[in-house]
Chains A and B, each alone.
Chain A
Amino acid sequence: MITAEQKPMQEIIQYIAPYDKILLIGCNECVTVCAAGGRKEVGLLASALKLDRLKHGKTIDIKEITLERQCDPEYVEELVATIDDADAVLSMACGCGVQTIAERFNKKHVYPAVNTKFMGASQSQGVWVERCQGCGDCMLGITAGICPVSRCSKSLLNGPCGGTSNGQCEIGPETDCAWVLIWERLKALGLESRYEELVEARDWRPAGGAGPRKIIREDLVL
């Protein structure tokens, strides 16, 4: 999923300072799962923003709504009924959701309330870790299901650098060496010989860098 974290309160407060009527929009997908921008977080942020105004002797009208999927025009269309009343929109979705709203309602001021972080998986309760950089040419089939692009600090494709110690990356004990993990798993699977196959320099074009990447599925296009 796409993970996110709420922005610092002061930044959000500054964004909405000029407005008195806010439409605060959550998303029922990824940001709900990582507890950054679902219905619950929308409620909590609305209360906190109202409280902040009250502290300064002012009020703010915040309407709360949580869409099924903010990155999907079909659900964003549901805002037509309410968005006109608002001076500005504060979105708690990932960057994809924020942009979908901005694109659909091009005269509306739209602000993000979260920082979109990475594509990751839940490691334990309350902990998410990056697992994919969307490089567009998945290598997991040759690296025993562990991604060196997203998990090696140098995205090395041919094995560990000289900085590995005790199974940890040179950048610190918080980070496992991806290549130690790959090697251990290759061994466990009896695929040791795969390690010695040279991985040639990658074509990074599928990873982006030439405008937004796009998928067109002719079989689905209307």
Chain B
Amino acid sequence: MKTESRLEKVLTSGALAVTSEVGPPRGVDPEIVKTKANMIKDHVDGINVTDNQTAMVRMSSVAAGIIIKQMGLDPIIQMVTRDRNRLAMQSEVIGAAAFGIDTMLCLSGDHPKFGDHPMAKGVYDIDSIQLIQTVKNMRDEGKFQGGAEMKGSPKMFIGAAANPFADPFELRVMRLAKKAKAGVDFVQTQCIFNLDKFELWMKGVEDRGLDKEVHVLAGITPMKSVGMARYMKNKVPGMDIPDEVIKRLSGVTKEQQPEEGIKIAVESIERLKEIKGVHGFHIMAIEWEERVPEIVEQAGLYPRPEF
């Protein structure tokens, strides 16, 4: 074991892992974080805390992560290279580790253009792969990116994102290979709706033996409505939503659409469980955290293993 991460323990045991996420509030109330975390705590092995997602200012992921950690739970802090340079990111990693946070996700982040500060300058001193290298170097070598020795290194279980659906498809397995080479321990994928394409990607991952180097957690998002599905299809970059999903949701009444969305999510998990290299699931229920437990239960992923 490289770390004390609960997620690492679950994955190492061979059990299918389950993670989900909490978006921090756009204000100072810690109760919002606690309420959301409490909704999912018994059904997941780790709680992602997003970092200014969609480039909107929110409570910092490390601060919200500390709140969750102090509840006795297991935050997975996300860190985007858009908002900080390498000094700031390394100091945040140290700060998080000082509060016992042991799992994180290295991301490049949505472009500032999408958020409420489109006039902001993106930092991008390093990219997500270089952040993986940086954190791994801190953890395993006890050294800063600049080369100096640290006094006490952060034991982080290192994650990243993988999007099998973005262009060009043929590069997407190689991109995972690059993250593996950089030292990533696990990836959470973009929301999967096109299962055929995901299976094709996973075949490429398994053919190269990458599933033995990196734990792949399949991304699952329940659709609340056909409107949400259409929005994601047309407006969210890098999202692949087949017409059948839209057709299925529009085939039921508006009132039944949330249930249908949950059903699709559960069916997807059932099918994805059959793939050897899929080691767990990351459930992104956007502003719908309260429905995560029933998805986990219906998919046969409850109770969660105890450590």
Contacts and interface: CB of A to CB of B under 8 A. Distances in A.
A171 B167 CA distance: 14
A189 to B, nearest CB: 15
Contact of B111 (A159, A170, A202): A170
For this complex, into which size category does the number of interface residues on chain B fall? 35 or more
B33 interface: no
B51 to A, nearest CB: 15
B148 to A, nearest CB: 14
A160 B175 contact: yes
B177 interface: yes
A115 interface: no
B182 A162 contact: no
Interface in B104-128: 108-111, 113-114, 122, 124-128
Given A154-B82, A158-B178, A170-B110, A200 B133 contact: yes
Given A160-B167, A198-B182, A165 B238 contact: yes
Q: Is the interface of A mostly helix, strand, loop or mixed?
A: loop
Interface residues of A, number: 31
A216 interface: no
A75 B129 CA distance: 48
A162 B108 CA distance: 9
Contact of A171 (B81, B113, B130): B113
Given A157-B127, A201-B126, A196 B168 contact: no
Of the listed residues A153, A161, A196, A198, the one surrounded by the most CB atoms of chain B closer than 10 A to its CB is A161
Contacts of A184: 168
B237 A163 contact: yes
A213 B174 CA distance: 37
Interface of B: 81-82, 86, 108-111, 113-114, 122, 124-130, 133-134, 145, 161-163, 166-168, 171, 174-175, 177-178, 181-182, 190, 237-238
Interface of A: 153-167, 170-172, 177, 179-180, 183-184, 195-196, 198-202, 204
